Amino acid sequence: MLGLEDLPAGSTISIGDYMFAALCWYKYGKTIKELVQQSAAGSPKASTQLLNLMRDYDRWRFGKPHRRQSGSKFDLNHHSLMTSGLDLGLDRLTADELADCFDELCSCGKEHSPENLRKLRERMIKALERIKTGAKANQEPPALETN
Ligand SMILES: [Zn+2]
């Protein structure tokens, strides 16, 4: 997911890679791969987005306060909790259960809104579906059966 799906199974990704991919996905709703492809295909918009992304990434990397840390809706904690939680069954919880779960697991210290979390989950599930569909169209299906 997040455009890192080409990595061999079992690879670990660095927090830097994760952050870069997460920023890309959150900001533009596309994977790094899509963005790089669009930029390579000559889209001025994608090129600008790529540059913005690198700037944001550097801000994060060098520890400069990102404007998102001061009050905007984006919260990387929530993003990554949701990403790892979807596989674990977060997708089956009601909005209220989801908020309880985040109250339990998340260290942001803020109150978690069931409605906001439900929307975040919806966005992420859609994005994941799109990634899966795109991956199917572009690649040989992975061999799922082993004998
Ligand atoms: Zn939180």
Taking only the tens place, the pLDDT of each residue in 75-116 is: 667 887 887 787 778 888 899 988 988 888 787 878 899 999
Rounded distance from Cα 39 to ligand 1 centre (Å):
34
Do residues 99 and 114 make contact, with C-beta atoms less than 8 angstroms apart?
Answer: yes
Q: Tell me, what DSSP letter sits at residue 132? A: H
Taking only the tens place, the pLDDT of each residue in 111-131 is: 899 999 999 899 888 887 777
Do residues 16 and 61 make contact, with C-beta atoms less than 8 angstroms apart?
Answer: yes
pLDDT at 109: 78
Residue among 54, 120, 52 nearest 82 (CA): 120
d(CA 90, CA 83): 9
Give the confidence band of 6 by pLDDT, cuts at 50, 70, 90.
Answer: low
Rounded distance from Cα 92 to ligand 1 centre (Å):
19
Rounded distance from Cα 127 to ligand 1 centre (Å):
21
d(CA 147, CA 144): 10
Query: For the chain, what are the domain ranges?
Result: 1-72, 75-134
Neighbours of ion ligand 1 (CB under 5 A): 106, 108
pLDDT at 67: 46
Rounded distance from Cα 77 to ligand 1 centre (Å):
6
